[in-house]
A = this chain, B = another copy of it.
């Protein structure tokens, strides 16, 4: 089963599909992360927002959240709707600019983020442990080239 260095089978995989293998592997990894997070009631998207708020150490305007999450503002609007409905985050007015609305962590949101981070850390440790230093360097090189 662990025939490393060789792709599974001839018929199943085209000759030079390394790029697609990479995408497939990333997708599998993402599924694993989503599954782990689902175990604590989170998704990658939700955990991402909570983590950004924890890291910031303060309530952030939704547009700032969108900028840090590298997504569109309306996405954050809806994500925060769901986080708020679950009691993980709270919308608070900005006294200095009445256009702005900040998202503030609730204690439950903080706890949930920690639980999610623990899940991800376990998988990440697993991932890292499976690679030698040399291989990590090679992969890093590839990653840089893909930027």
Which residues of A are in contact with B by a Cβ distance under 8 Å? 2-8, 16-30, 51, 54-55, 113-114, 117-118, 120-121, 123-124, 127-128, 130-131, 134-147
- Shortest distance in angstroms between A52's beta carbon and chain B's nearest beta carbon? 11
Q: Which residue of B lies closest to A138 (CB)?
A: B138
A2 CB contacts on chain B under 8 angstroms: 121, 144
Q: Are B137 and A139 in contact (CB-based, < 8 A)?
A: no
**Given the contacts A22-B139, A143-B22, A121 and B6 also touching, CB distance less than 8 Å:** yes
Whole-angstrom CA separation of A8 from B135 in the bound complex: 19
Q: Are A145 and B130 in contact (CB-based, < 8 A)?
A: yes
A142 CB contacts on chain B under 8 angstroms: 25, 130-131, 135, 139
**Given the contacts A23-B29, A23-B30, A147-B28, A136 and B18 also touching, CB distance less than 8 Å:** yes
**Given the contacts A131-B142, A141-B4, A19 and B29 also touching, CB distance less than 8 Å:** yes
Q: Are A117 and B18 in contact (CB-based, < 8 A)?
A: no
Q: Are B147 and A5 in contact (CB-based, < 8 A)?
A: no
**Given the contacts A23-B30, A25-B146, A138-B139, A5 and B130 also touching, CB distance less than 8 Å:** no
Q: Which residue of B lies closest to A5 (CB)?
A: B117
Set B21, B51, B140, B141: member contacting A143, Cβ < 8 A: B21
